Amino acid sequence: MQSVNDIKWKKGMNVGELINQFGKAGFQGIELSRAAEIIAKMKRDKAKIFVTFTSNMITSGMRGFFAQLVKLGMIDVIITTAGGIEEDIMRAMGEKFLITNFNADDIELHEKGLNRIGNLLISNDSYAKFEDTFTGMLEDIYKKEKRITPSKLLNEIGKKLKDEDSFLYQAAKHNVPIFCPAITDGSIGFHLYFFQQNHEDFIVDDIKDFKNMMTSTSWDERKGVIALGGGVAKHYAILITMISGGFDYGVYITTMTPFDGSLSGASTDEAKSWGKIKDDADATTIVGDATVFFPLAMTKALDILAEEGIIK
């Protein structure tokens, strides 16, 4: 049994060296170190990697990191929520999100037309510009297809964006499917509804995309999941792969706890009781902010894979 080692700074220490120290210090640092190793194993094993994240990840500075990971071939399937789609498009349009604090005066912000997400702000003007841009995209797409799945819709949108830091753009460019099961759960839902009022034959086929998700992998494939946050994005990944034997690798990062029975707080161990993650899967759960822990774990994993020549 290994003993606890003290964390010590040294000049020029890199992320990987710090995470190695975390792995011998205790608590969540140990799980962070394990997560980096598991992610590296996923890629080394040629597993199909599913990454799920909630929209707040895109509100933050994680957006460009996801785009980079798609470009590096570290993501094979994305499952996310409506807000992340909207905000990726907004940023690709050149809109800026602002930094405030968690104790900002929300009544004053509302009067100024600013919407708070934690310690970040999105203006009403950004949503208004998004509406114009998105509606124009729908008009173009409608000319080609009257009935479309959410994943095909997002692929078409990604092709229209010209931003290297857009995960929609990179996913379309590298043929990585993006599934958004709750695509109406946000501003985008309103605009799809309004568009359909003027185009009654326009159908966004969610059920067909459920089939596409279920058939996106098989029993024969090795599979890994990185679930950042919880909610519908996380659940769809572990639900659809349950019928193909479950995941061989799993990394969950969440601020929720498992003690209220929520899916968002459910651990990788709990998932084994459902067959969503295999009994012998290499898996870990980190309790903490995914916008901090995920870039650390992934940076360490990328360093490992780069040293092995698996990625460049």
Domain boundaries, the chain: 15-93+125-307
Please tell me the number of Cα atoms within 13 Å of 109 on its side-chain side. 19
Across the chain, what does the average pLDDT equal?
Answer: 96
Q: Which helix (H) or strand (E) holds 287?
A: strand 277-287
Secondary structure class of 127 (helix, strand, coil): helix
Secondary structure class of 32 (helix, strand, coil): helix
Q: Each residue of 187-229: pLDDT tens digit?
A: 999 999 999 999 999 999 999 999 999 999 999 999 999 999 9
Q: Pairing mode, if any, of strands 120-123 and 98-99?
A: antiparallel
Right CATH for 15-93+125-307 from 3.40.910.10, 3.40.50.970, 3.90.1170.40, 3.30.420.40: 3.40.910.10
pLDDT-derived band at 304 (thresholds 50, 70, 90) equals very high
Q: Are 67 and 169 in contact (CB under 8 A)?
A: yes
Q: The pTM is what?
A: 0.96
Which amino acid is it at 201? Answer: D
| pLDDT for 45 beyond 90 | yes
Q: What percent of the chain has pLDDT over 70?
A: 100
Q: Which CA distances in Å does 164 have to 24, 133, 221?
A: 37, 18, 30
Q: Is 144 a catalytic residue?
A: no
Q: Each residue of 83-108: pLDDT tens digit?
A: 999 999 999 999 999 999 999 999 99
Residue environment code for 197-215, b if the CB has 16+ CB neighbours within 10 A, otherwise e = eeeeebebbeebbbebbee
Cα–Cα dist 4/21, whole Å: 10
From the candidates 48, 152, 276, 300, which is the catalytic residue? 276
| pLDDT for 1 beyond 90 | no
Which pLDDT does position 312 carry in this prediction?
84
Which amino acid is it at 219? Answer: W
Cα–Cα dist 287/284, whole Å: 10
